[in-house]
Amino acid sequence: MSAGPLVALEGAAVGYGRTRVLSGIDLAIEPGDFLALVGPNGGGKTTLLRTLLGTLPTLAGRRSAPRPLRIGYVPQRDLLDSIWPLSAFDVALMGRAALLAPGRRPRTEDRDAVAAALDRVGMGDVSRRRYGDLSGGQRQRVLIARALAGSPELLALDEPTNGMDPAAELSTMEVIDALHAANGLAVVLVSHRLETVAAHARTLAFVDRDRAIFRVGPVAQMLQPEELTALYGRPVKLGPVAEAAARPGAVQP
């Protein structure tokens, strides 16, 4: 029996200052969910994610979380300056900061947790390499390890495959899939690439501030022609991966 959602928005308006980006948002994240927020660049996906995570206040309605929630956040990787001479291990160690008492240095258990997180994303063998020398896909895995190091209940990723080549994109999504399946993590992922996330998420939310769209439902439902036309404003032809996910009875991870 479900203990209820980890976090929910009810009748929420989201935005910055007095500027509303989206209104009338009802969205709940249950334990073990895998939700992808999909829509065009600038459509309000990151604003919605930040409100859901509690780093932006709602402009109307409410955000509710029945208890303090451990969140692992993975930003777009180009937001972390790769010029700093930090190793992959040093970057992942940042994920333990919230668990340390003020002024306390990381202990053996903290370093062990970071090493385990790097191993879980396949980056244990590059932990001592300089973060800035890693490939884009490797950097993203290190950022995922940083989020995992804090033992989160919810893993939130903002455009985790942005700018990657197809092989790195697939590899990164497979890592996220494995973490979701093996650890019961709830996952919320932002992407403007529908084809990338359709075969991985359980639930899709279509987000576009210009069209005043917020629609959410199971993957197979959201990939039907009427939903896609509402998001993109014209008929959409699915690629083979998304087409398979749209079939009735398609098995989601």
Decide if 108 is inside a domain.
yes
Is residue 113 within 8 A of residue 96, CB to CB? The reply is yes
Decide if 132 is inside a domain.
yes
Decide if 179 is inside a domain.
no
Q: What's the confidence (pLDDT) of residue 78?
A: 58
Q: What's the confidence (pLDDT) of residue 124?
A: 94
Decide if 5 is inside a domain.
no
Which residue is listed with tokens 């932006």? 56
Which residue is listed with tokens 């497979």? 174
Distance between CA atoms of 214 and 25, rounded to whole angstroms?
Answer: 7
Q: By C-alpha distance, which of 159, 162, 132, 127 is closest to 146? A: 127
Decide if 181 is inside a domain.
no
Q: What is the mean pLDDT of the chain?
A: 87
Q: What's the confidence (pLDDT) of residue 199?
A: 87
| Structural domains of the chain, count | 1
Which residue is listed with tokens 């009338």? 24
Residues in the chain predicted with pLDDT less than 70, given as ranges, are 1-2, 77-83, 183, 238-253
Decide if 216 is inside a domain.
no
**Contacts for 251 with CB less than 8 Å, ≥ 6 apart:** none
> In this predicted model, what pLDDT tens digit does every residue of 98-125 receive, in sequence order?
877 777 888 999 999 999 999 999 999 9
Decide if 87 is inside a domain.
yes
Indicate the SS3 state at residue 60: strand
- pTM of the complete model: 0.87
Q: What's the confidence (pLDDT) of residue 246?
A: 58
Q: Cα–Cα distances in Å, from 68 out to 96, 110, 122, 171?
A: 17, 21, 30, 32
Decide if 139 is inside a domain.
yes
Question: Burial code of 20-52, b = ≥16 C-beta within 10 A, e = fewer?
Answer: ebbbebebbbbebbbbbbbbeeebbbbbbbbbb
Domain span including residue 88? 81-152
Q: What's the confidence (pLDDT) of residue 28?
A: 96
Pairing of strands 34-38, 186-191: parallel
